[in-house]
């Protein structure tokens, strides 16, 4: 019998690839596995994989459905945490020039409000702050979920909050702090967003990924050449947009479209969210792919490792050279077809931090009932989700709430012209979610309340990556209400959702929304936040 999950129509060889079947959206006919997406599939030992579809069945080892789902959630969260922690550690290495990547001691104790710190200690979810102890916590999360170690799904789920705290402090906070210390803080001002910022009359270099180590040097180097146009993609793009006002051409879902304009001379990548198909697509055009991080290798890329400021400066010069040579191979027809599309970039206010968001006014407005609260709209833009519905919902909600946004979804708000810097604020890349946490903390301090007692909600309407899960876990541990619009792994086993909602509510009085309907979500938020 044909398995619909295997009906993959995407042809990945560059020779056969057409624009239509290369685009991410065209490949969505590969349906997600309904068992895997609900978390019921356990492939943690070689007696399986076991698909445990209901409570009356068990896996070969006796694992219940709840246990399997909980283990999958913890492993997924730990994957996201590893990516953010890796990002911050790469910045540490870049800046210190040493392989001894040690964050400051007692980092969480120094950064977090003391009332939260005590709560986490009491709840047993405080990460080990000694030396690199948080790394041991991450390996223990994987250890805990191997065959025959932990059979209590509740304790496994609680460990997700510990991973959330590691993600938040040793990933988001440390990454943002290092980025600001080394490269400087962004300033709020107008920026350009969307594919229309690619210039047919220039040599275009796209910078894609997450770690801004090379990107920052690229800005300095490109400034010497009038004919070079830099554009950003994904979180490296958000960084460049916030910090340097370099236009941002695409979020995750549009990354292939950037190359398919036929106008990109070089695509420079670091790590995370660089999908494998993009390397194949570069081969269909004249675009040179340049990889810069040991972890992020592609078989057809020119590899220029960036490990310290000197190698970043040298690579920036080489990339400009590569792009200039590649320009000769651009085909004229791409310029005319791009011009015919008349794509115009959208303008929006970008580059906010906790220092530029008017937290005193927001606190006053909450106190006087002029505002119902603050919503952090974070994470990815999943092509399986109708994002337009969510954008409409946030536009509506921004009449009653302040919206703080980051990552790919902030780009999407920008594409709809909603980044006004008055009701809807752009706070940078996903690692910069630390700025959203800090902004919320400042508002709570102005009012003399704990952050968990404030009308704050974190909403991830269209998550894709494991990183979105670990960020949500961080904000859940902070005591904020949370929402996922694509409740991957979360709702298949009712006990799991009930335990998550119940324990977050007991710990901090917060609410959890696993809601994929934007209208229903909006109605519930309006009635819950009075
Ligand atoms: Fe998600 Fe971070 Fe990736 Fe965009 S780039 S798809 S993780 S929102 Ni950061």
Query: Is residue 2 very low, low, confident or very high in pLDDT (cuts 50, 70, 90)?
Result: very low
Long-range pairs for 108-116 at CB < 8 Å and ≥24 separation? Answer: 108/165, 108/169, 111/169, 111/173, 112/169, 113/441, 113/450, 113/451, 115/450, 116/450, 116/451, 116/452, 116/478, 116/479
Round to the nearest angstrom and report the end-to-end CA distance of the chain. Answer: 53
Average pLDDT of the chain is: 91
What is the distance in A from the centroid of ligand 1 to the CA of 171?
14
| CB 467 near ligand 1, within 6 Å | yes
Which atom number of ligand 1 is nearest to the Cα of residue 210? Answer: 9
89 close to ligand 1 (CB < 6 Angstrom): no
3-state SS class at 281: helix
Q: Which of 428, 416, 25, 414 is nearest to 256 (CA)?
A: 25
- DSSP assigned state of 272: S
Q: In DSSP terms, which residues pair with 205 in a beta bridge?
A: 230, 266
Give whole-number Cα distances, 298 to 186, 250, 272, 384, in Å: 32, 21, 13, 26
Judging by beta carbons within 10 Å of its beta carbon (0-12, 13-18, 19+), is residue 339 exposed, middle or buried?
Answer: exposed
Q: Which residues are 481's β-sheet partners?
A: 457
Give all strands of the β-sheet with 512-514 in edge-to-edge order.
424-426, 401-405, 373-377, 456-460, 481-484, 512-514
Asked if pLDDT for residue 40 goes beyond 70, the answer is yes
Q: Looking at the CA of residue 463, tell me the nearest atom of ligand 1.
A: 1
Q: How far is the CA of 123 from the centre of ligand 1 (A)?
A: 30
Q: What share of the chain is helix, strand, coil (3-state, %, to 5)?
A: 50, 10, 40
CA distances from residue 347 to 130, 189, 402, 411, 420 in whole angstroms, order as listed = 45, 10, 20, 11, 9
- The count of other CB atoms within 10 Å of the CB of residue 313 is 15
- If DSSP codes are grouped into helix, strand and coil, which group holds residue 184? coil
pLDDT in tens, 455-480: 999 999 999 999 999 999 999 999 99
Quote the pLDDT of residue 490. 76
Residues comprising the chain, all counted: 530
Residue 460 φ/ψ, nearest 5 degrees: -115, 90
The pLDDT tens digits for 328-338 are: 999 999 999 99
Query: Would you say the CB of residue 411 lies under 6 angstroms from ligand 1?
Result: no
Rounded Cα gap, residues 60 and 65, in angstroms: 12
User: DSSP readout, 326-371?
Assistant: HHTT--HHHHHHHHHHT--PEEEEE---TTTS-HHHHHHHHHTTS-
User: How many whole angstroms from 233 Cα to the centroid of ligand 1?
Assistant: 10
Residues 163-178: pLDDT tens digits? 999 999 999 999 999 9
Any ligand 1 atom below 6 A from CB of 234: yes
pLDDT in tens, 229-277: 999 999 999 999 999 999 999 999 999 999 999 999 999 999 999 999 9
In this structure, how many other beta carbons lie within 10 angstroms of the beta carbon of residue 196?
16
**Parallel, antiparallel, or unpaired for β 41-42 and 50-51?**
antiparallel
Does the Cβ of 273 fall within 6 Å of ligand 1? yes
List residues bridging with 204 in a β-sheet: 229, 264
- What is the spatial distance between Cα 112 and Cα 173, in angstroms, rounded to a whole number? 10
pLDDT at 26 over 80: no
- Contacts of residues 74-77 at CB distance under 8 Å and 24 or more positions apart, as own/partner, are 74/141, 74/144, 74/145, 74/156, 74/157, 74/159, 74/160, 74/163, 75/141, 75/142, 75/145, 76/466, 76/469, 76/489, 77/141, 77/160, 77/163, 77/164, 77/167, 77/466, 77/469, 77/470, 77/473
Residue 8 has pLDDT above 70, yes or no: no
Distance 155 CA to ligand 1 centre (A): 29
Whether the CB of 145 sits within 6 Å of ligand 1: no
Task: Compute the CA torsion angle 205, 211, 212, 217 (nearest 10 deg).
Answer: -70
Residues 6+ apart with CB under 8 A from 221: 313, 316, 317, 319, 320
Q: Is the per-residue pLDDT at 38 higher than 70?
A: yes
Closest ligand 1 atom to the C-alpha of 235? 9
Q: Is the CB of 383 under 6 A from ligand 1?
A: no
Could you tell me what percent of the chain has a pLDDT over 70?
95
- Residue 376: strand pairing partners: 404, 458
Atom of ligand 1 nearest to the CA of 234: 5
Name which residue sits closest to atom 5 of ligand 1, judged by CA. 234
Cis peptide before 330, with omega less than 30 degrees from 0?
Answer: no
Residue 272: name the closest of 299, 288, 291 by CA. 291
Does the structure show a pLDDT above 60 at 4? Answer: no
- Quick one: 54 exposed, middle or buried, by C-beta within 10 A (0-12, 13-18, 19+)? exposed
CB 279 within 8 A of CB 346: no
| β-pairing verdict for 456-460 and 424-426 | unpaired
Name the band, by pLDDT with cuts 50, 70 and 90, for residue 100. low
Task: Give the pLDDT of residue 99.
Answer: 63
User: Band of the pLDDT at 30, cuts 50, 70, 90?
Assistant: confident
- The answer on pLDDT for 143 being more than 50 is yes
Q: Is residue 147 pLDDT above 90, yes or no? A: yes
What digits encode the pLDDT tens for the residues 152-209? 999 999 999 999 999 999 999 999 999 999 999 999 999 999 999 999 999 999 999 9
Å from CA of 430 to ligand 1 middle: 7
What is the chain's Cα-based Rg? 23
Nearest CA to ligand 1 atom 8: 380
Sort strands 346-350 and 189-193 into parallel, antiparallel or unpaired: antiparallel
Which residue of 468, 474, 488 sits with most ligand 1 atoms within 8 Å of its CB, as the best mutation to test the pocket?
Answer: 468
């Amino acid at each position: 019998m044909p398995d619909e999950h295997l009906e993959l129509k995407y042809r990945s060889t560059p020779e056969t690839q057409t624009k239509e079947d290369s685009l991410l959206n065209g490949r969505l006919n590969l349906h997600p596995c309904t068992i895997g997406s609900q978390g019921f599939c356990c492939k943690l030992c070689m007696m399986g994989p076991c698909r445990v579809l209901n409570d009356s069945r068990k896996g070969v080892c006796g694992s219940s459905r709840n246990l399997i789902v909980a283990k999958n959630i913890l492993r997924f969260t730990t994957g996201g945490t590893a990516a953010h922690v890796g990002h911050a550690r790469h910045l540490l290495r870049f800046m210190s020039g040493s392989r001894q990547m040690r964050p400051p001691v007692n980092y969480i104790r120094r950064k977090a409000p003391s009332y939260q710190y005590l709560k986490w200690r009491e709840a047993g979810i405080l990460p080990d702050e000694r030396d690199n102890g948080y790394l041991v916590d991450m390996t223990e999360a994987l250890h805990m979920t191997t065959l025959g170690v932990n059979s209590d799904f509740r304790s496994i789920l609680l460990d997700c909050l510990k991973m959330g705290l590691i993600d938040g402090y040793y990933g988001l906070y440390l990454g943002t702090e290092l980025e600001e210390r080394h490269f400087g803080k962004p300033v709020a001002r107008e920026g350009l967003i969307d594919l229309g910022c690619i210039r047919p009359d220039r040599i275009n270099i796209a910078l894609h990924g997450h770690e801004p180590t090379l990107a920052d040097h690229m800005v300095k180097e490109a400034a010497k050449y009038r004919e070079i146009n830099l554009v950003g993609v994904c979180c490296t793009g958000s960084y460049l947009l916030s910090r340097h006002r370099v236009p941002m051409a695409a979020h995750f879902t549009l990354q292939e479209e950037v190359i398919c304009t036929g106008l990109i001379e070089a695509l420079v990548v670091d790590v995370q969210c660089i999908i494998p198909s993009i390397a194949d697509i570069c081969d269909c055009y004249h675009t040179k792919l340049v990889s810069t991080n040991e972890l992020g290798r592609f078989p057809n890329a020119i590899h220029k490792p960036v490990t310290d400021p000197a190698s970043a400066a040298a690579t920036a010069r080489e990339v400009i050279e590569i792009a200039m040579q590649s320009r000769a191979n651009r085909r004229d027809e791409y310029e005319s077809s791009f011009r015919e599309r008349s794509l115009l970039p959208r303008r929006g206010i970008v580059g906010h931090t906790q220092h530029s968001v008017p937290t005193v006014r927001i606190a006053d407005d909450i106190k006087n009932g002029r505002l119902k609260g603050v919503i952090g709209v974070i994470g990815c833009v999943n092509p399986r989700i109708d994002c337009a519905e969510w954008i409409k919902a946030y536009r509506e909600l921004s009449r009653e709430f302040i919206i703080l946004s980051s990552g790919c979804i902030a780009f999407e708000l920008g594409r709809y012209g909603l980044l006004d810097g008055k009701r809807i604020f752009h706070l940078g890349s996903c690692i910069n979610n630390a700025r959203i946490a800090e902004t919320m903390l400042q508002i709570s301090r102005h009012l003399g309340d704990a952050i968990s007692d404030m009308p704050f909600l974190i909403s991830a309407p269209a998550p894709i990556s494991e990183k979105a899960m670990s960020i949500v876990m961080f904000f859940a541990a902070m005591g904020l209400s949370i929402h996922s619009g694509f409740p991957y792994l979360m709702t298949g086993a009712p006990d799991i959702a009930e335990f998550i909602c119940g324990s977050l509510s007991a710990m901090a009085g917060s609410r959890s929304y696993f809601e994929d309907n934007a209208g229903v979500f909006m109605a519930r938020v309006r009635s819950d936040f009075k």
